[in-house]
Amino acid sequence: MAVSAPFDAVLLISFGGPRGLSEIRPFLANVLRGRNVPAARLDSVMHHYELFEGISPLTEITMRQADGLRERLRCLALPVYVGMRNWHPFLDDTLREMANNGIRRILALTLAPHHSYSSCGQYKQNVLQALNSSQLEGRNLEVTYVSGWHTHTGFIRANADHISQAFQKLSANSRSGAQLIFTAHSIPLTMANEARYEKDLAESAELIAKHVSVTNWAIAYQSRSGRPQDPWLEPDICDYLHKEKQRGLEAAVLSPIGFVADHIEVLYDLDTEVSLVAKELDIEMARASAVNDHPTFLDMMADVIQTTCKRYATGIPLQISPSTISPATELPPCER
């Protein structure tokens, strides 16, 4: 028998990605939202997608995550929907579909483990904009968000498992001296100073490193964009490898803990660009997968949903209001 839940459905919120060459330009137009990005920067990002035939694995992986979550939530009889910020299925369309299906109370999980405006706040703002649109006026949808999960055992164990597999890809005589390097999307310092992004990353990294019994670890950043004169979080992963090579680094395992899917920014920035740098520097490198649809990560998603349902079993909290989200620097084309 299904267990009663204080919500009618679950909404997974993600960034979105194109699924073919013809979708790259309109997808990037959605990401840019009319911002004035230099043509050279746009051409560069388009080329990254073209190298993969314009197909971002993000959508497919997110759908697999949703399927795994549905299977695990059978006891709650909660349907699971997916809404993307920049491509199909668009967040606005998904919310209208949910409203048309009679859903009113929504429990949302944003697929970004570490908190900043661009990774979480902006998505909440997009949800508010959709709820206040004329298409949803009078539908009385209520959206509640799960609590943070960057230190959840399931997230830690899923990453640790992929890291352990990556260490096995290194030659036997390189493993003991290899450094574990965690990566995440760089963001402007103005944004980082107003969020707990760096603290969240450090907490995740420390727990994961402890789980795999690695003491030699560091955090570096990838996918930096924006104006060169604007300060962003550092060190950049390529710069970091150059510096560490001078200090004797011979082998490394890269773990993109700032992402929950192996999408274009992981495949290009790490598997293509950083891989070339490591080869030039004669650093043996293996890359751990993002959590993707690792069973333990899917178990974690189900656990945070079930925990939230129990927390609000006697009543759903007051909803977030537009005034609680402050505008911040917007990012150029990138996937989350």
Q: Where are the alpha helices (DSSP H) in the chain?
A: 24-32, 39-50, 58-72, 91-100, 122-131, 153-169, 189-192, 197-211, 237-246, 264-268, 275-281, 295-311
Distances (CA, A) of 336 to 17, 187, 309: 10, 11, 26
Total residues belonging to the chain? 336
* pLDDT attached to residue 331: 38
- In which band, very low, low, confident or very high, does the pLDDT at 206 lie, cut at 50, 70 and 90? very high
In this predicted structure, the answer to whether residue 317 has a pLDDT above a threshold of 50 is yes
φ and ψ at residue 44, rounded to 5 degrees:
-65, -45
The pTM of the full predicted model, rounded to 2 decimals, is 0.91
Element (H, E) at 184: strand 179-185
pLDDT digits (tens, 9 = 90+) for 146-182: 999 999 999 999 999 999 999 999 999 999 999 999 9
Residue 321 has pLDDT above 60, yes or no: no
| Residues 6 or more apart in contact with residue 238 via CB below 8 angstroms | 273, 274, 277
Identify the weakest region by mean pLDDT among 7-21, 186-200, 214-228: 214-228
Dihedral pair phi/psi, residue 219, rounded to 5°: -115, 130
pLDDT in tens, 30-76: 988 867 677 777 888 899 999 999 999 999 999 999 999 999 999 89
Q: What is the pLDDT of residue 334?
A: 34
Domains and CATH numbers, the chain: 9-149+294-324 (3.40.50.1400), 153-287 (3.40.50.1400)
- Please state the rounded mean pLDDT for residues 277-281: 98
